[in-house]
Amino acid sequence: MTIRKETLRDQRAHMLAASPGWRASDARVNPRVAIGSIIAMWLIYFLITTGLALLAGAAEQWGAIGRRAIVVIAGILCTFALYQLIQRVQPKSFGARLAVAMGAAVPLVVIYASINLLVFFYWFPSGDTQKIIEEVQSKFPIAWETVLILDSSIRWYFFFAVWAALYVAFGYANEMRAVERRANSYRVEAQAAQLRALHYQVNPHFLFNTLNSLSTLVMRGSQAEAETMIMNLSSFLRSSLAIDPEQLVSLDEEMALQRLYLQIEQARFPDRLQVEVAMPKELENARVPVLILQPIIENAIKYGVAPSKGRIAIRLSASSEYGLLVIRIENDIDPAAPAPESGTGLGLGNVRERLITRYGPVAGCEWGRSDSGGFAVSLWLPIAGEGH
């Protein structure tokens, strides 16, 4: 059983450590957001440049506004084409994705700069256009148009690059959120698998000892006691295996399951096991994780009752303290009995882990020697018992 438990824990650790898997679709931005950002960026540019020109008192403002509107529409179309290119090429690496975006911006900037040249220098030239052309032709008489396009491309590249970088950043943020969602989903699945593994594990010592006790009863001819033990064992196994390990039950129902288990053990130790239960009526409906007390009571039988020669009491009590349900399980220890081998602590550790997994830091479990010389385990959880 220890090997199986370690295997389950190793699998759970591997699942949580493994990458949740990269998907290209995670890095894509919602089309509404992408297109909205393109339009917003160019609209802001149009408003700022127009406003500055009006404040500066530049001539031919209405004609300039029309020309600027044409190139803004061209800019929107070029940026949309850039968006389509980036969306279709989604390398896994963030750096590669950014490099693709920066590279894809180059030809589109050249196209935009060419359209800008056509609008301002050929289709709708202004009064200053001829001066600019003469100036550039004096320095570059043959390729003056190419020079204007390259000069404009360099200036406009950063405008396109900023949007491309923002798009990649938004996509990366989406990717991280998707990875986190899948990782959380894996954690939930792993926690559920762990709870189920803890729930479905059957203590081989318990079954072995119970079957031995049955054999003894049959050999002695104690048919009625053997039948009672078989019925109790059958009822306990049916109840424990049929219950959803993530289910919450009332404290009264949990105590009923433990009484059923203790009846089986009392058939094994009729003269040694004494059970005392103190549970206030008002706490009977408090919700607790199903079979949360099982490993604790098993430990009390294994380390308290089994090695003893005299009568050993197991006391279960429940109380409400500061809005928490506190359950205490205490067992006597026979000082004359040989000390049993130390346990691994997995049973009590699993109880604590189940509580913290479900309720967080408001719940817990602690154990140790009691003031009377016995052994005591205390666990606490929110009294409402709704869990996470």
* pLDDT, tens digit (0-9, with 9 covering 90-100), for 91-104: 777 788 888 889 98
pLDDT of 345 reads: 59
How confident is the model over 333-373, as pLDDT tens digits? 888 877 766 655 567 887 888 888 888 889 999 999 988 88
Sequence-ordered list of residues with C-beta below 8 angstroms from that of 256, at least 6 positions apart, any chain: none
Examine residue 343 and state whether it is found in any structural domain, yes or no: yes
Q: In this structure, are 146 and 15 located in the same domain?
A: yes
pLDDT of 6 reads: 45
Q: In this structure, are 245 and 178 located in the same domain?
A: no
Q: In this structure, are 122 and 142 located in the same domain?
A: yes
Full-model pTM: 0.50
Q: In this structure, are 128 and 49 located in the same domain?
A: yes
Quick one: which H or E segment has residue 327? strand 324-331
Q: How many domains does the chain contain in total?
A: 2
Q: What's the half-sphere exposure (Cβ side, CA atoms, 13 Å) at 347?
A: 20
Q: In this structure, are 223 and 176 located in the same domain?
A: no
Q: Which residue has the higher pLDDT, 121 or 110?
A: 110
SS3 304: helix
pLDDT of 247 reads: 77
Task: Report the percentage of the chain scoring pLDDT > 90.
Answer: 19
- Residue 314 in this model has a pLDDT that exceeds 70: yes
Helix-helix angle 129-139:144-200, to 10 degrees: 100
Q: In this structure, are 215 and 185 located in the same domain?
A: no
Q: In this structure, are 139 and 206 located in the same domain?
A: no
Mean pLDDT of the chain: 80
Examine residue 388 and state whether it is found in any structural domain, yes or no: no
The residue range of the domain holding 115 is: 2-196
Examine residue 387 and state whether it is found in any structural domain, yes or no: no
Q: In this structure, are 188 and 245 located in the same domain?
A: no
Q: In this structure, are 109 and 254 located in the same domain?
A: no
Q: What is the C-alpha to C-alpha distance for residues 192 and 246, in angstroms, rounded to an integer?
A: 7
Q: In this structure, are 218 and 300 located in the same domain?
A: yes
Which CA distances in Å does 189 have to 11, 249, 364? 12, 21, 22
Which of 196, 216, 242 is the last residue before a domain boundary?
196
The arithmetic mean of pLDDT across residues 107-117, rounded, is 89
Alpha helices in the chain (DSSP H): 2-17, 31-56, 61-88, 94-117, 129-139, 144-200, 204-220, 223-242, 251-268, 294-300, 346-359
**CATH at residue 362:** 3.30.565.10
Q: Which amino acid is at 191?
A: Q
Q: Which amino acid is at 245?
A: P
pLDDT of 362 reads: 92
DSSP annotation string for 15-48: HHHS-----GGGGPPPHHHHHHHHHHHHHHHHHH
pLDDT of 388 reads: 41
Q: In this structure, are 178 and 210 located in the same domain?
A: no
